[in-house]
Structure 1
Amino acid sequence: MGHPHDQAQSRGESSHALGTSFRSQLGSFSMPAPLIAEEVIARDLQDAPESPDSSSDDDDSEGSTERPSEFSMTETYRRPSYVNPGLRSCVPLASSLPEHGYLTKRERAAVRDEERSLLQDNLLIPPRQPRRGSEGGLSGRLGRRSLSALRKVRSSADEEAAIGPDDEVPSENTALLGADLAQPFGGDDSPVNINKKWEEAVAAGKIHTTWQREAKTLGKYASPLILTFLLQYSLTVASIFTVGHIGKVELGAVSLASMTANITGYAVYQGLATSLDTLCAQAYGSGRKKLVGLQLQRMVYFLWLITIPIGIIWLNGTAILSAIVPEQQTAQLAGLYLKILLAGAPGYAAFESGKRFLQAQGLFSATLYVLLVCAPLNAAMNYVFVWQFGWGFIGAPIAVAVTETLLPLGLFLYVRFVDGRDCWGGFERRAFRNWRPMIRLALPGLVMVLAEFLAFEILTLSASWISTTHLAAQSVLSTVTALTFQIPFPISIAASTRIANLIGATLSGAARTAAKVALCAACVVGILNVTLLSTLRDYIPALFTNDKEVIEVVAGLLPLCAAFQLFDALATNCNGILRGLGRQEIGGYVNLFAYYAIAMPISFGTGFGLKWGLYGLWAGPAVALGVVATIEGIFLYRTSWERAVEEAHKRNSMG
Structure 2
Amino acid sequence: MDEPGSPRAIPDGRRHSLLHNLLPESLPLPPSFLETSPAVREILQRDIGECSSDDEESGSTHDHSSTQEGGEVKLAFHPNGVAYGCGYSMVPMQGFDLPVPNPHEIEESVAAELELLRDNDIVPHSSRTRQESVVEHLRNAFSGGSHDHLPTTRTETSPLLGSDDDGTEIPSTPPPQVVHELWEEAVLAGKLRTSWQREAKTLVSYSAPLIATFLLHYSVTIGSVLTVGRLGMLELAAVNLATMTASITCYVPVQGLSTCLDTLCSQAYGSGHKHLVGLQAQRMTWLLWLLMIPIAVLWWFSEPILASLVPDADTARLAAMYLRILILGMPGVAAFESGKRFVQSQGLFRATTYTLLIGAPLSFLQNWLFAFKFGWNFAGAALAMAVTQNLLPLLLAGYVWLVDGSQCWNGFSRRAFGNWGPMIKLALPGMIMIEAQFSVLEILTIAAGQFGTAKLAAQSVLVTVTSASFNIPFPLAIAASTRIANLIGAGLSDGARVTAKVAVISAGIVGLTNLTLLSTLRFHIAGVFTDDDQVISIAARVMLVCALMQIFDALAAVSHGILRGVGQQVIGGYANLFAYYFVALPVGLTTAFTLGWQLAGLWTGLTAGLAMVCVLELVYLYYSDWEAAVIQAERRMRSEDVNQELKPARS
Q: Which bracket does the TM-score occupy, shorter chain normalised? A: 0.7 to 0.9
The answer on 1:355 being equivalent to 2:356 is no
8 Å Cα contact 1:127/1:184 also seen in 2: no
1:289 shift after superposition:
1.1
**Tell me, what secondary structure is at the counterpart of 1:538?**
helix
8 Å Cα contact 2:312/2:453 also seen in 1: yes
**Tell me, what secondary structure is at the counterpart of 2:236?**
helix
State how far apart, in whole Å, the 2-side matches of 1:259 and 1:71 are: 42
The answer on 1:217 being equivalent to 2:202 is yes
The answer on 1:36 being equivalent to 2:39 is yes
2:136 alignment counterpart: none
Which runs of no fewer than 5 residues in structure 2 stay unpaired?
Answer: 10-29, 130-158, 641-651
8 Å Cα contact 1:269/1:349 also seen in 2: yes
The sequence identity of aligned pairs, in percent, is 48
Instruction: Label 1:125 to 1:29 Cα distance change in 2 as closer, same or farther (>3 A).
Output: farther
Which AA in structure 2 matches 1:421?
A: S
State how far apart, in whole Å, the 2-side matches of 1:56 and 1:364 are: 21
2:142 alignment counterpart: none
Which AA in structure 1 matches 2:576?
A: N
Q: TM-score, normalised by structure 1?
A: 0.84
2:3 alignment counterpart: 13
Instruction: Label 1:599 to 1:179 Cα distance change in 2 as closer, same or farther (>3 A).
Output: closer
Which AA in structure 2 matches 1:564?
A: M
2:50 alignment counterpart: 47
State how far apart, in whole Å, the 2-side matches of 1:563 and 1:652 are: 42
1:566 alignment counterpart: 551
2:105 alignment counterpart: 107
8 Å Cα contact 1:69/1:652 also seen in 2: no
1:66 alignment counterpart: 69
8 Å Cα contact 2:163/2:169 also seen in 1: no
2:117 alignment counterpart: 119
Q: Mapping of 1:162-561 within 5 angstroms?
A: 186=171, 189-561=174-546
State how far apart, in whole Å, the 1-side matches of 2:74 and 2:176 are: 19
1:64 shift after superposition:
5.6
State how far apart, in whole Å, the 2-side matches of 1:176 and 1:77 are: 35
1:616 to 596, 601, 613: 601
8 Å Cα contact 1:473/1:554 also seen in 2: yes
Which AA in structure 1 matches 2:3?
A: E
Greater Cα offset, 386-395 or 27-36: 27-36
CA offsets 1:119-155 (integer angstroms, 9 cap, x no match): 1100011111299xxxxxxxxxxxxxxxxxxxxxxxx
CA offsets 1:56-105 (integer angstroms, 9 cap, x no match): 483xxxx862344999659942314536x6x5234x31428x6223432x
Which runs of no fewer than 5 residues in structure 1 stay unpaired?
Answer: 1-10, 20-26, 132-174
Instruction: Label 1:70 to 1:452 Cα distance change in 2 as closer, same or farther (>3 A).
Output: farther
Instruction: Label 1:530 to 1:187 Cα distance change in 2 as closer, same or farther (>3 A).
Output: closer
**Tell me, what secondary structure is at the counterpart of 1:66?**
helix
Greater Cα offset, 472-481 or 29-38: 29-38
RMSD after superposition: 2.7
8 Å Cα contact 1:523/1:569 also seen in 2: yes
Instruction: Label 1:230 to 1:69 Cα distance change in 2 as closer, same or farther (>3 A).
Output: farther
**Tell me, what secondary structure is at the counterpart of 1:48?**
helix
Instruction: Label 1:187 to 1:495 Cα distance change in 2 as closer, same or farther (>3 A).
Output: closer
1:512 shift after superposition:
0.8
State how far apart, in whole Å, the 2-side matches of 1:558 and 1:646 are: 45
State how far apart, in whole Å, the 2-side matches of 1:29 and 1:190 are: 33
Greater Cα offset, 199-208 or 265-274: 265-274
8 Å Cα contact 1:74/1:110 also seen in 2: no
State how far apart, in whole Å, the 2-side matches of 1:281 and 1:328 are: 48
Which AA in structure 2 matches 1:318?
A: E
State how far apart, in whole Å, the 2-side matches of 1:643 and 1:39 are: 30
8 Å Cα contact 2:98/2:263 also seen in 1: yes
Instruction: Label 1:466 to 1:178 Cα distance change in 2 as closer, same or farther (>3 A).
Output: closer
Which AA in structure 1 matches 2:123?
A: I
1:410 shift after superposition:
1.0
8 Å Cα contact 1:70/1:100 also seen in 2: no
1:223 shift after superposition:
0.3
Which AA in structure 1 matches 2:475?
A: P
State how far apart, in whole Å, the 2-side matches of 1:501 and 1:200 are: 17
Which AA in structure 1 matches 2:606?
A: P
1:646 alignment counterpart: 631
Pairs aligned (count):
585
Instruction: Label 1:615 to 1:506 Cα distance change in 2 as closer, same or farther (>3 A).
Output: same
CA offsets 1:336-387 (integer angstroms, 9 cap, x no match): 1011111011011111111111122121111111011101111121122212
8 Å Cα contact 1:129/1:185 also seen in 2: no
Which of the pair has more CA radius of gyration?
1
8 Å Cα contact 2:233/2:457 also seen in 1: yes
Which AA in structure 1 matches 2:479?
A: A
CA offsets 1:439-460 (integer angstroms, 9 cap, x no match): 2222222212211211122111
**Tell me, what secondary structure is at the counterpart of 2:215?**
helix
